[in-house]
Structures are given as structure tokens and as C-alpha cells.
Amino acid sequence: MADTSVNGAVTAAAASPLNKPPHSGKPKRPNYNVIHADPLPVVLYHSPTLIPHNPISLLHHLYLYFFPPVQSHKITYIGVFSPVTMSVEIRDPAAVLDLWNKGFWGKGSLSRSEPTWLNREMRRLGDTQVGETSEELTRRRRDQRKEMKKERARKEKEELQKIKDAEAKIKEDNGSVSNGKPIIADSKVVVELEAEISGLVETVTGPTHPSIPTEEPGLPTPPPSSDELNISDAESKTDIVNIGSETLPVSVPPTSESPSAQPAKVVRFDSNTSTKEIPVQKKVTVQNQEHLQLMLSEAFFLTYALGILSVTTADSTKPLSLPEVFKLFLRYSTFPPLPESSASLTNFNPDNSFLINYAVYHHFRSLGWVVKSGVKFSVDYLLYKRGPVFSHAEFGILIVPSYSRWEGREENVGKEWYWLHSITRVNSQVKKTVVLVYVDVPTADDVKGWDSETDGLKKVLGKYKIREVALRRWIPGRNRE
């Protein structure tokens, strides 16, 4: 039997899908699990389940091994080496988006990390179809923290004034007033509190961001005059709706109950009436001036390990071979760059910084970590578990070359103890663990004759031994035992 009571009607109305709570207005975040589903920019295919006791399954897997359905390691992206920035530039917008979405490779030349300059420029020009970028979210959080500090300073100032008023009243009641001014008993506490409030106010007080407009409060609309109510018969079929400072005519169809010539209606909203602004859809076209910058280690990993990047120079569009790319990166791994005559592939120095850094980069990338530059936190690399959009970096990598196989060379990095202490302090403040990565550098005799072998570069990289040591900052006040 249906419930026809009042409570039943209210319950049915509340359960109706039309009576949903209003939307909070918070912009919907993109689904990063779908956007960054592929960890590497290679074409993958799923093989069927291997059944060891089924010969057909074994034959199927052997066939897929020798004759794969797709060729994953093929040249897909083209980069231009820049000797000015000592990086490889990717200028194709489709390639930039693909490399960032599939493994977070490189950084935007006009952005902090993700290449979002185009979206920020379109939003600045008024495009309503582009969402917020990471830089805008960071700036908004900083503004919110600044407003919170202002509010805290205001409340502390009010509490201080209450304390002063209470003490002044007590002194007046006791008759201990000197020259009309109350004598405060604990003046040191009050002075310290005033200094703290003044410092907090100076910290949060600053010029507002120029790109954030400020809204002025609207003025109330004056009441209609008698001239506005005297409208001719020709305008009798329109209603005048006044919102703010604009008057919009709204046509009203005539009805049988109302005469054809009736006085017009004037609807005005005062300042207490809440209005909802409907945003105007706008599309802006801007030429993208940003490119993707790849570190030398990133570019060589895409060229050598994955085989999907072709590197050219600004002077020629002809792709460089792998030995030529290797020689070019060896030259420009130091500043100033090495002369071309000293960079020999037959007799190169295994202590080259590019080889040491690439050995570490290749090691962690092969283990599934997302490796980014760590210059912001005074380390060589940062390790992300999935990527910058999912979480912060968990580890900061410090590369320490080790020369145990070099005769007559001391194991000394040339740094003082406070250098390491300052790095651990910086990274502990941002909740990162510093990892010392010792790279055992081979000698020149160990890598001699690598260019005459079939895969000599693999043999060279195999000579570098890597071991990790995780550090934890020791705080005397907390780590007593």
C-alpha cells in the first residue's frame, strides 16, 4: 500500500534525484590514472596466458617472440640538440604531450615541470575551456595561507587589546595610574606579543597578484522614478529587468486575461539579492612557444635503451648515429665543452660525468622509478614512485664516484661534512630520504676495445657497479637512544 501521508511525501521528495545538493563549484580533477596509464612511450601488446603443459600455448608464445604483432622500438620522436642549454629539445606539440603523458620525460622550457605555458596563456587571455594548471593551484594555495596568517594576526591583535584593556581597568580600580596611562605589570610578555604580531603582519602584507582581479562591492539600485513608470503603449508588451547597472527588456506574450495595452513591469534587484553570473564561453587561439627539454641522460635512454628518439643538430637535419650521439654527449657533459679532438670513442675517459650520471639514471629507470632532476633540492636526481602528478618524490639521489680500481687515486669527494649535513637538512624538511649512490668507476684498460665489439656500449655500462646507502638525519634532541 502506498504511503500517502505528509511524511511519506516529504520522504519521497527528499529521495527524488531532482533534489540533489548543489554542486560545490570545485573544478573536477582529470583522471591521471587514465592519462598516465603507460609508463613508457612504447607500443605494448598483451600475450595470452602461458600454459606449460599445453604445446599449443608454447608454440603461440614462440611465434609472438619471433614475430611480434607490432614493432615497439621504432623511431617515433625527433629531437634537436641545443649546445646553449646542453639539452635535447622536442618541438612537436604532439610529441611533447606524448612524452609527458607516457613516463614524465623532460620539462617545459617555460614551466616549472609540466609544459603548461599554453594553457596558462590561454587562461590569462580569458579562455573558459581550459582548466587550472599546477602553477595556478600553487599560487592559490599560497594566497590562502597568506589570508589565514592575516586572520590569525588580527585575532591575536584583538586578544592583546583585550589584555591591555583588562589590565588598564584593574590598575584604574586600584588607583595605580601614572600620568593618565595605565601601568602594565607584565610588559615583557605584551611587547613580545606585539613584536610577533607586527612581524606576522609584515610577512603576509604585500602587493596582490596582478593577474587576479579584485571585485568592488556593488551599490544598491535606486528606486524607480515616475518617468520610468510612464511607458508608452508601444512598449507595453515588454518587461524591463534591471540587474545591477543594466536594464534588459524581456518580451512577454499577450494573454486573454490581460489587455493588449497594459503598463510595463519594472523589476529591480537591490544589493541584498544574490545573483548568479553565467560565464560567457570564450575560445582563444594562441601559438605555442614552449618546447620540451630533455636532459642528456633522458635523451640517451630514449635513444639507446628504447630506440624511439632520433637526435639531430641545429646545423643539419640528418639524424645522428648512436656513436655520434654518444660522442656528442661526452663532449657537452662538462662546461666549457670538451674540444672535438679530445673526445675520442676509442680512448675516452671512463670518469666522464655523463657516463657516471647515465649509469645511475639507467639503473633506476630500469627498476621502474620516474627519475627527474633534483637541482631544486641540491641533489642530482629525484625518484618518484609513479610520477609528479601522483605524489611527491620520495628519495633524493646524490652520486658519489668511487675509484677503488684506480691505482694511486684517493677515495675523496672533496666535500666537507657540513655539505652533506646541509643537504640532509634541506631534504628532511620536505620529507625526502637522501640516498648516496656510490658508482664504482672502471679504468681505461677495462673499457679498451669496446667499439670493436657488437654491443660494446652494453659492455662499457656493465663495468659501472652501483650501490646505494640511505641516510637519515640524526637530531640530538630526538635520537638520544
Return the HEC string of the chain. Answer: CCCCCHHHHHHHHHHCCCCCCCCCCCCCCCCHHHHCCCCCCCCCCCCCCCCCCCHHHHHHHHHHHHCCCCCCCCCCEEEEEECCCCEEEECCHHHHHHHHHCCCCCEECCCCCCCCHHHHHHHHCCCCCCCCCHHHHHHHHHHHHHHHHHHHHHHHHHHHHHHHHHHHHHHHHHCCEECCEECCCCHHHHHHHHHHHHHHHHHHCCCCCCCCCCCCCCCCCCCCCHHHHCCCHHHCCEEEEEECCEEEEEECCCCCCCCCCCCCCEEECCCCCCCCCCCCCCCCCCCCCCCEEECHHHHHHHHHHCCCEEEECCCCCCCCCHHHHHHHHHHCCCCCCCCCCCCCCCCCCCCCHHHHHHHHHHHHHHCCCEEEECHHHCCCEEEECCCCCCCCCCEEEEEEEECCCCCCCCCCCCCCHHHHHHHHHHHHHCCCEEEEEEEECCCCCCCCCHHHCCCHHHHHHHCCEEEEEECCCCCCCCCCC
> pLDDT-derived band of residue 276, with 50, 70 and 90 as boundaries?
low
Q: Which of 77, 361, 384, 464 is catalytic?
A: 384
Q: Which of 155, 392, 415, 421 is catalytic?
A: 392
**pLDDT of amino acid 263:** 54
Among 254, 150, 126, residue whose Cα is nearest residue 200: 150
CATH number of 36-43+71-124+282-345: 3.40.1170.20
**pLDDT of amino acid 463:** 92
- Summarize the confidence of residues 139-166 as an average pLDDT: 91
Give the residue with greater pLDDT, 144 vs 173.
144
**pLDDT of amino acid 399:** 95
- Summarize the confidence of residues 28-34 as an average pLDDT: 83
Is there a common fold for 36-43+71-124+282-345 and 349-481?
A: no
Give the residue with greater pLDDT, 14 vs 96.
96
Which of 39-43, 207-211, 374-378, 421-425 is least confident? 207-211
65 is catalytic: no
- Which range has highest mean pLDDT (44-53, 215-224, 250-259)? 44-53
| For residue 163, pLDDT beyond 50 | yes
**pLDDT of amino acid 10:** 40
HSE-CB of 301 using CA atoms within 13 angstroms = 25
Rounded to whole angstroms, how far apart are CA atoms 420 and 398? 10
**pLDDT of amino acid 413:** 58
- Summarize the confidence of residues 25-46 as an average pLDDT: 80
* Cell numbers that stand for 325 in this block: 650521439
CB atoms within 10 A of CB 390: 13
**pLDDT of amino acid 400:** 92
Rounded to whole angstroms, how far apart are CA atoms 296 and 335? 14
> pLDDT-derived band of residue 481, with 50, 70 and 90 as boundaries?
low
Rounded to whole angstroms, how far apart are CA atoms 177 and 422? 54
- Summarize the confidence of residues 274-287 as an average pLDDT: 73
Q: CB pairs under 8 A, 24+ apart, for 344-352? A: 345/451, 346/451, 347/444, 347/448, 348/447, 349/444, 350/441, 350/442, 350/443, 350/444, 350/446, 350/447, 350/460, 350/463, 351/401, 351/403, 351/441
Which of 191-195, 247-251, 296-300, 325-329 is least confident? 247-251
45 is catalytic: no
**pLDDT of amino acid 421:** 87
- Summarize the confidence of residues 75-93 as an average pLDDT: 94
* 349-481 to CATH, choices 3.40.50.720, 3.30.200.20, 3.40.47.10, 3.40.1350.10: 3.40.1350.10
- Summarize the confidence of residues 225-233 as an average pLDDT: 46
| For residue 32, pLDDT beyond 50 | yes
Query: CA–CA distance from 438 to each of 356, 365, 377, 412 (Å)?
Result: 10, 17, 19, 12
432 is catalytic: yes
- Summarize the confidence of residues 338-362 as an average pLDDT: 87
**pLDDT of amino acid 412:** 59
> pLDDT-derived band of residue 241, with 50, 70 and 90 as boundaries?
very low
Rounded to whole angstroms, how far apart are CA atoms 334 and 324? 17
**pLDDT of amino acid 136:** 83
* Cell numbers that stand for 209 in this block: 597578484
Q: Cβ distance 109 to 87 under 8 Å? A: no
| For residue 95, pLDDT beyond 60 | yes
* Cell numbers that stand for 323 in this block: 656513436
Residue type, 403: Y
- Which range has highest mean pLDDT (213-222, 232-241, 430-439)? 430-439
**pLDDT of amino acid 238:** 44
| For residue 40, pLDDT beyond 70 | yes
Q: Which of 36, 362, 363, 432 is catalytic?
A: 432
Rounded to whole angstroms, how far apart are CA atoms 106 and 100? 7
| For residue 9, pLDDT beyond 80 | no
Give the residue with greater pLDDT, 247 vs 326.
326
> pLDDT-derived band of residue 68, with 50, 70 and 90 as boundaries?
confident
> pLDDT-derived band of residue 239, with 50, 70 and 90 as boundaries?
very low
Domain residue ranges in the chain? 36-43+71-124+282-345, 134-204, 236-274, 349-481
Q: Cβ distance 60 to 48 under 8 Å? A: yes
- Summarize the confidence of residues 219-235 as an average pLDDT: 47
Q: Cβ distance 358 to 467 under 8 Å? A: no
Which of 79-83, 260-264, 401-405 is least confident? 260-264
Share of the chain above pLDDT 70, in %: 70
* Cell numbers that stand for 362 in this block: 639507467
Give the residue with greater pLDDT, 251 vs 90.
90
With 0.85 as the threshold, say if the pTM is over it. Answer: no
**pLDDT of amino acid 129:** 79
